Homo-oligomer: A and B are copies of this chain.
Amino acid sequence: MKTSEMINRKVDAVMQKAWSAFRIYSKFSLKRRKSFLYAIADELEKAGDDLIKTCMEETNLTEARLKNEKVRTVFQLRSYADHCESGDWLDARIDTAIPDRTPPRPDIRKMNVPLGPVVVFGPSNFPFAYSTAGGDTASALAAGCPVIVKAHSGHLKTSEMVAELIKIATEKMKMPEGLFSHIYSPSHYIGEALVKHPYTKAVGFTGSVSVGTQLFRWGNERKVPIPVFSEMGSVNPVFLMPGKIKESSQEIARMYAASVTLGVGQFCTNPGIIIGLESKDMNDFLATLSEEIRKIAPAKMLHKKIADSFMTLRDSILMENGVSVVAVSDLEKSDYCGIPTIATVSSEEFLRNPKLQEEIFGPYSLVVRCKSLDEYSLIARSMEGQLTCTMMATADDMKNNDDLIDDIKILCGRFIINGVPTGVEVCLSMQHGGPFPATTDGRFTSVGGDALRRFARPVAFQNWPDELLPDELKNENLLNIYRTVNNRLTKDR
């Protein structure tokens, strides 16, 4: 049998089971879904050092980082479970009948229902938080959807171990078979087979622009198109404003030396471009940044291919016209390391050469030197969509640069003042998603409770007998959730 045919069969078997599970699980109460997510969180929380050790071996990430990431993953599961139970994301609406109107108004009630089976593709850089039991899985399960995880080859054993924990939780909580599946093949074809299966109703992906865009195209080209949420790349530009840099050039330089090199620069929110105005303050900033970067040791990247790719891309950018090195780590490097590097280029050259705007995944940032603030707007307008943009600014810097702020807002999903883009808080106000190509759909977030909304769609129930409506929409507000009743948001019964 050909590989593709074998994969099709394997995928079909998994998707058939997922579909059967969907018909059962989608009708479970919010409370029951919540308990299931809590059960997964409990299993993950109590998983022993073996899991961390295996993951360290597979990813080169440090014990401290992985322990933190595991804590974050457990928190995410519980947080999305709580949000599920709150019912806010259901957007429940009730418009009661007006029988004596001409024509009579029928009783109509609407709420979000789950889309169906969701396929999740995790990235290499977050083996826990965006992988097997990560944000996409947690939000899809919370929304009432079965999940099929395509395991990442970069941490396959870790993924299998986590899948096993989910299986234990599934059994403990008496969840239907096929609600969660873990699938792997070394063949790239498995991605296509999963996205194109008729029972796949949505896809969550975190990774490169090329793969994320391919999945998106497949999703749209289907006979019945499906939403594909690819969280891809960003250079996360940072705009240094003159007032702020005058106030604290050294402090900012230290913040950014740390942010650029955090986790060997392997974050989707890594600040890859820093825009500054030629000045003495800027020189001070660069001097401190250099000093700091030189002291930061090269560290192992996730795997050889990523390290090779980082060094190749970095070297090719350093060869571009007008690009010069500001600082490189002075410290010793071993195999597969990412060497902290800061380069610089003039604004003219930057605007002329689109290659300089490409993401380089690793501990690298390019400082763009401008001659005037007008060039900041030109740069913002030349850029593609971003997960985040940052402005280091005093209140006066902001007040005097209205238009620039508008240009930046159009560009991004999260707009940070006086901070660093690394560090993505898991909370309802988080927007982790931006205009293409940061993500394929900037109207949604992949972090925070609003991530559930990616996997739901509204259904209106017209003229249903009260006792047969879903509990969320019955006259009596049994679940004590917020609902908009005749245009008024209320918890009233």
Binding site for B on A (CB under 8 A): 23, 27, 82-83, 86, 88, 91, 93-95, 103, 105-106, 108-110, 113, 115-116, 216-217, 220, 224-225, 227, 384-385, 395, 398-399, 406, 409-410, 412-419, 423, 425, 427-431, 433, 435-437, 440-443, 445, 450, 456-465, 467-468, 482, 484, 487, 489
Contacts and interface: CB of A to CB of B under 8 A. Distances in A.
A410 B27 CA distance: 12
Given A94-B429, A108-B430, A428-B93, A450 B458 contact: yes
B224 A385 contact: yes
A113 B429 contact: no
Contacts of A83: 487
B431 A459 contact: yes
B95 A429 contact: yes
The 6 nearest A-B residue pairs measured at CB: A431-B460, A93-B429, A414-B460, A108-B429, A416-B462, A110-B429
A412 B95 CA distance: 19
Contact of A415 (B216, B406, B459): B459
B108 A425 contact: yes
Contacts of A428: 93, 95, 110, 484, 487
Given A459-B409, A459-B412, A227 B443 contact: yes
Contacts of A217: 220
A427 B458 contact: no
A103 B262 CA distance: 14
Contacts of A395: 465, 467-468
A439 to B, nearest CB: 10
A462 B110 contact: no
Given A216-B225, A428-B93, A418 B110 contact: no
A209 B465 CA distance: 34
Contacts of A433: 458
Contacts of A456: 443
Contacts of A464: 415, 417
Given A417-B464, A419-B462, A419-B463, 8 more contacts: A91-B450, A94-B429, A106-B416, A108-B425, A224-B436, A413-B458, A442-B457, A443-B456
Nearest to A402: B27
B429 A224 contact: no
A65 B23 CA distance: 42
Given A95-B425, A395-B465, A431 B458 contact: yes
A398 B412 CA distance: 48
Contacts of A427: 95, 105, 108
Contacts of A418: 463
17 contacts: A23-B406, A88-B484, A88-B489, A91-B450, A95-B425, A95-B429, A95-B430, A103-B423, A216-B225, A224-B384, A224-B435, A415-B464, A417-B464, A418-B463, A431-B458, A435-B457, A450-B458
B227 A430 contact: no
Given A95-B425, A436-B224, A443 B458 contact: yes
B431 A465 contact: no
A435 B293 CA distance: 52
Contacts of A450: 91, 93, 458
B436 A225 contact: yes
Nearest to A454: B443
Contacts of A412: 459
Contacts of A484: 88, 428-429
B440 A225 contact: yes
Contacts of A423: 103, 106
Contact of A429 (B86, B115, B460, B489): B460
Contact of A445 (B409, B435, B436, B458): B458
A421 to B, nearest CB: 9
Nearest to A115: B443
A482 B482 CA distance: 11
A79 B385 CA distance: 33
A5 to B, nearest CB: 25
Given A395-B467, A465-B417, A460 B430 contact: yes
Contacts of A431: 110, 458-460
Contacts of A467: 395
Contacts of A430: 95, 108, 110, 460
Nearest to A468: B398
Given A93-B428, A95-B427, A427-B108, A463 B225 contact: no
Given A108-B430, A385-B224, A417 B103 contact: no
The winner among A220, A227, A443, A463 for most chain B CB atoms within 10 A is A443
